[in-house]
Amino acid sequence: MVKAVIFDMDGTLVDSERLGRKAWAMAAERLGFEGVTEQVIYSFIGRTRPDVLASLTDVLGNAQDAQRVFFLSREIRHGELGDQLELKPGAIECLEALRAAGVSCSVATSTFRDLAEPTLERMGLLGYFNHVTCGGDVENGKPAPDIFLRAMELEGVDPAECAVVEDSPNGVRAGFASGASVYLVPDLIEPSQEILGMCRRVLGSLAELPAALSI
């Protein structure tokens, strides 16, 4: 039986990726940058702040413009779009079932702690988790497995005893590389055959996870 479940946050527990996509587009438009296309925005999903800023710098040509777009998009997302944030379907039902079964739960998110923990608290989720591992806690972000390995270390479990729940290709790659069983709940990006091959199960919502874990 699985002893611990490690959840991604954005796009998995909270329906934030859609807001993020909108905020990126709004920020780029307000600052007059045309290079921040939907394809570029999708490439940010599941990646840490330094990785996103490095990609933006490549797209826009200099780090200063990348910083301007990044921080304006963050301001828009957590400011004027903040009240549109919702939980993903089945999140509370899933977490309540895992708690009742005595399964330990943690979060491993590419988002930095200054935003991750307030988001979880605002959505009423923080109390369900023993640990929150964030993008700033590890050297290499997803798709490297570092963040999940760190979360497992905090939980005191081996990869074989752990399930990872993700929505993005980079997250699935990271979970698979960590040695855990990966459960995918697709969000914005349709999984490729490569990604499907790394998953133990693809779920329609988080509500299906307890049964998939035989809970």
137 is a catalytic site residue: no
d(Cα 134, Cα 14) in Å, to the nearest integer?
A: 15
Element (H, E) at 104: strand 104-109
Which residues touch 20 (CB under 8 Å, ≥6 apart)? 10, 41, 44, 45, 73, 77
Q: Is 187 a catalytic residue?
A: no
Of residues 10, 51, 146, 167, which has the active-site annotation? Answer: 10
Instruction: Give the dihedral sign, CA 175/176/182/184.
Output: positive
Catalytic residue among 8, 51, 146, 187: 8
Beta bridge partners of 184: 166, 202
Query: Which token pair is 197?
Result: 């091959």
Instruction: Give start and end residues of each alpha helix (H) in 44-145.
Output: 49-60, 63-78, 91-100, 113-122
Q: Which residues are catalytic?
A: 8, 10
